[in-house]
């Protein structure tokens, strides 16, 4: 099994079978929370499609497994070699045909004669970028067997851009595969979703993440703490072992979450200002704080399902979690920090605490 991915063995097996099938699907949708490994799985698919050792030239166009894609390769089947030219370029992130499309200037292509400002801090994937993408896919890949375009986050298309993407998915060019990555599949056009092979990327068990980190040579104690704090998200766990300060003082952060969530509106605004000020100097600490907020609302969601004391309407928790995802993506796209935090905090429902903030935070331990 591929050691590049922590957990998700079943998905890796599925991707292996798809890549080896007669007609690999040209559009995949990786749906799941941030940090669970969605983009890494898309890259795994790109490797499987393009590795020279898995796809020797003599069998080009023919399938290793025949027409029957239900004939899964055995679990011991070799993964991508990691050494051939396509593998190396893909793993380095320098393959000319493996393209990451997200908010910003990637593939931006203004119309002829149009004066068009660059937009590095756009929060959406714009129509000009989609135009650039369509231009690109009309041509053959430079060297790849299959060009792979990873669209992340795929829920950030404007109206016109979404419909243009849909047209492309309806008449897919044979040599290009689209991997859509999203935490909010319900925000995509249903007609886009229905064109994609959907892959649900779920949180990974804590023990599996811990083992994966230790395999990568990280200190076992640190690995255990990072796995715990990552709440099933290997990508987050890897950030944590690289920057242990990001884990922060979780108890203190959760206390603060409880206080803000139960407090008056003006406290939310001053908290948003504080987050925005600190965002400039200490991004890691703020990202850890957003993680704490996620833990806070996920815990509420569990309590709500269980009908425990001090519950908030489930829809409110879901809304809050979505607002955090949006804020994180906005911040990564370099959107103005203060409005991003304000929007997030205004989306949070007001909670009534059954316990004091200190007791609240102890409940997560
Ligand atoms: Zn290879
Ligand atoms: Zn543009």
Task: Report the separation in Å between the CA atom of 28 and the middle of ligand 2, taken as the mean of its atom positions.
Answer: 25
> Are 259 and 277 in contact, with CB atoms under 8 Å apart?
no
Q: Domain extents for the chain? A: 9-200, 208-243, 244-365
Tell me which fold the domain 9-200 belongs to: Rossmann fold (3.40.50)
The residue written with tokens 């829809």 in the block is: 315
Report which bound ligand comes closest to the CA of 105.
2
Task: Report the separation in Å between the CA atom of 244 and the middle of ligand 2, taken as the mean of its atom positions.
Answer: 37
- At 355 the pLDDT is 66
Strands (E), the chain: 27-31, 98-101, 147-151, 176-182, 197-200
- At 60 the pLDDT is 45
Rg value, the chain, Cα: 22
Task: Report the separation in Å between the CA atom of 134 and the middle of ligand 2, taken as the mean of its atom positions.
Answer: 14
Helix/strand/coil for 13:
helix
pLDDT in tens, the chain (365 residues): 346 899 999 999 999 999 999 999 999 999 998 889 999 999 999 999 999 999 887 544 445 555 444 455 544 568 999 999 999 999 999 999 999 999 888 999 988 888 888 888 777 899 999 999 999 999 999 999 999 999 999 988 988 999 999 999 998 888 999 999 998 888 899 999 999 999 999 999 999 999 999 999 999 999 999 999 888 999 989 988 998 877 767 778 888 999 999 999 999 999 999 999 999 888 878 988 998 898 899 888 877 766 555 556 788 888 999 999 999 988 888 789 999 999 999 999 988 876 666 666 565 54
DSSP state of 171: S
Token pair of 287 as six digits: 């990202």
Relative to beta strand 197-200, strand 176-182 is unpaired
- At 124 the pLDDT is 86
Task: Report the separation in Å between the CA atom of 208 and the middle of ligand 1, taken as the mean of its atom positions.
Answer: 26
């Amino acid at each position: 099994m591929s050691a590049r991915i922590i957990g998700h063995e079943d998905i890796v097996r599925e991707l292996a079978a798809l890549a080896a099938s007669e007609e690999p699907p040209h559009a995949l949708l990786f749906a799941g929370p941030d940090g669970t490994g969605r983009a890494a799985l898309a890259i795994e698919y790109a490797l499987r499609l393009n590795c020279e050792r898995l796809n020797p030239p003599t069998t080009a166009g023919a399938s290793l497994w025949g027409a029957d894609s239900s004939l899964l390769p055995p679990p011991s089947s070799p993964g991508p070699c990691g050494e051939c030219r396509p593998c190396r370029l893909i793993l380095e992130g320098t393959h000319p045909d493996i393209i990451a499309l997200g908010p910003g200037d990637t593939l931006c292509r203004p119309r002829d004669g149009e004066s068009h400002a660059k937009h590095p801090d756009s929060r959406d994937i714009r129509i000009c970028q989609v135009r650039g993408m369509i231009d690109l896919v009309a041509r053959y890949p430079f060297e790849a067997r299959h060009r792979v375009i990873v669209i992340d986050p795929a829920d950030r298309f404007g109206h016109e851009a979404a419909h243009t993407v849909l047209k492309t998915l309806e008449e897919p060019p044979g040599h290009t595969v689209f991997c859509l990555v999203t935490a909010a599949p319900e925000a995509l056009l249903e007609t886009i979703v229905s064109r994609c092979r959907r892959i649900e990327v779920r949180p990974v068990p804590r023990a599996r993440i811990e083992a994966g980190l230790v395999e990568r040579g990280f200190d076992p104690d640190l690995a255990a703490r990072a796995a715990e704090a990552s709440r099933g998200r290997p990508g987050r766990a890897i950030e944590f072992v690289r920057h242990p300060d990001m884990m922060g003082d979780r108890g203190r952060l959760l206390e603060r979450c409880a206080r803000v969530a139960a407090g008056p509106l003006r406290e939310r605004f001053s908290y948003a200002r504080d987050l925005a000020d600190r965002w400039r100097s200490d991004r890691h600490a703020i990202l850890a704080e957003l993680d704490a907020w996620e833990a806070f609302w996920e815990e509420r969601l569990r309590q709500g399902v269980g009908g425990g004391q001090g519950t908030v309407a489930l829809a409110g928790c879901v809304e809050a979690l979505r607002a955090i995802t949006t804020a994180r993506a906005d911040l990564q796209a370099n959107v103005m920090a203060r409005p991003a935090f304000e929007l997030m905090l205004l989306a949070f429902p007001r909670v009534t605490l059954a316990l004091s903030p200190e007791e609240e935070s102890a409940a997560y331990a």
